[in-house]
């Protein structure tokens, strides 16, 4: 922990110490809030180019969620859409000189993974009921309970480490190329950064959506065997 304080602490308010990742996150949040407020005031029946693009993005997110969870789109959409938007913007902030992508910080990706872990249980219990939800850990056999638990922990871990590893390695590779090859050489790598940012955001959000679907649809998955 001491290493973190000396290397990354921007503001020290004991016992809290604010890292650049948190500050960047706040910046992203502020930008998003201001953008949402500005856009929300100007929504019209006849959309302009920006509104059309936003509606297209929202429609794509809505369609993606509806394809997996058609009955719970309204409840799931804010969480999944925010994951996609935030991770995408956080990944892309690494392109701005002097800023570090928050997603290259393991604390941030771990926080997001834990949020996904918690949301899976939250939505699962609230929609399915606690008994029905917990029952799926014991099916098809109670002997599989340890494996279910290990699966829950491991997939949360992989969520956090995958995003963190990809973004940190990408930034590190870009830094090394700049140091070795000069100023203009890493431009293709920056293009790769954009693609990687999109892909990682999509993967993280899609995996979260699939985990949520797995938790919410346990009744549907197990009801045929129960009936049998």
Partner 1 sequence: MELDWTTFTLEILNFLVLVWVLKRLLYKPILKVIAERKAEIQKTLTDAESLRKEAQALRDQYENRQVEWTRAKETARNQMVEEVNAEKVRLLAELQTSLEQDRAKARVLEQRRLTDLTRQAEDAAIAQAGQFAARLLTRLASTELEAKLVEVMLEDLRLIPDERRQAIRIACVKCEVPAIVTSAYPLSQSQRQSLLEALQSLLDRSVSCEWREDQDLVAGIRLSFGPWMLGANLQDELKAFSETARSVSATHAS
Instruction: Decide: is 26 part of the binding site for partner 1 (CB under 8 A).
Output: yes
Shorter beta-carbon distance to partner 1: residue 77 or 215: 77
Burial letters 41-63, b for 16+ CB under 10 A, else e: eeeeeeeeeeeeebeeeeeebbe
* Tokens at 109, concatenated: 């990706």
Shorter beta-carbon distance to partner 1: residue 156 or 218: 156
Candidate residues 66, 72, 99, 115; the one interacting with partner 1 per rule CB under 8 A: 115
Which residues within the stretch 180-209 sit at the binding site for partner 1 (CB under 8 A)?
none
Beta bridge partners of residue 18, listed in sequence order: 11
Instruction: Decide: is 85 part of the binding site for partner 1 (CB under 8 A).
Output: yes
Shorter beta-carbon distance to partner 1: residue 85 or 190: 85
Candidate residues 4, 157, 176, 191; the one interacting with partner 1 per rule CB under 8 A: 4
* CB contact at 8 A, 209 and 64: yes
Instruction: Decide: is 112 part of the binding site for partner 1 (CB under 8 A).
Output: yes
* CB contact at 8 A, 125 and 219: no
Alpha helices in the chain, H assignment, sequence order: 2-8, 20-41, 49-68, 73-92, 106-128, 130-135, 145-181, 187-216, 218-227
Shorter beta-carbon distance to partner 1: residue 29 or 185: 29
Instruction: Decide: is 63 part of the binding site for partner 1 (CB under 8 A).
Output: no
* CB contact at 8 A, 123 and 58: no
Instruction: Decide: is 36 part of the binding site for partner 1 (CB under 8 A).
Output: yes
Kind plus residue range of the DSSP H or E element containing 12:
strand 11-13
Contact positions vs partner 1 (CB under 8 A): 1, 3-4, 8, 15-19, 21-22, 25-26, 29, 32-33, 36-37, 39-40, 43-45, 47, 51, 54-55, 58-59, 62, 77-79, 81-82, 85-86, 102, 105-108, 110-112, 114-115
């Amino acid at each position: 922990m001491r290493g973190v304080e000396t290397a990354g602490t921007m503001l020290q308010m004991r016992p809290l110490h604010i890292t650049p990742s948190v500050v960047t996150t706040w910046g992203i949040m502020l930008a998003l809030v201001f953008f949402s407020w500005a856009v929300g005031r100007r929504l019209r029946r006849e959309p302009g180019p920006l509104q059309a693009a936003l509606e297209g993005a929202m429609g794509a997110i809505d369609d993606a969620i509806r394809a997996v969870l058609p009955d719970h789109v309204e409840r799931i959409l804010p969480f999944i859409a925010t994951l996609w938007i935030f991770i995408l913007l956080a990944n892309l902030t690494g392109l701005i000189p002097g800023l570090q992508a928050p997603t290259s910080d393991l604390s941030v990706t771990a926080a997001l993974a834990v949020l996904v872990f918690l949301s899976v249980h939250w939505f699962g219990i609230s929609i399915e009921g606690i008994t029905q939800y917990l029952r799926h850990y014991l099916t098809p056999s109670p002997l599989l309970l340890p494996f279910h638990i290990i699966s829950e922990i491991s997939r949360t871990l992989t969520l956090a480490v995958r995003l963190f590893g990809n973004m940190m390695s990408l930034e590190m590779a870009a830094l090394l190329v700049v140091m070795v090859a000069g100023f203009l050489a890493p431009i293709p790598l920056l293009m790769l950064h954009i693609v990687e940012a999109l892909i990682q955001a999509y993967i993280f959000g899609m995996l979260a959506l699939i985990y949520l679907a797995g938790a919410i649809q346990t009744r549907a998955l197990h009801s045929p065997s129960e009936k049998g």
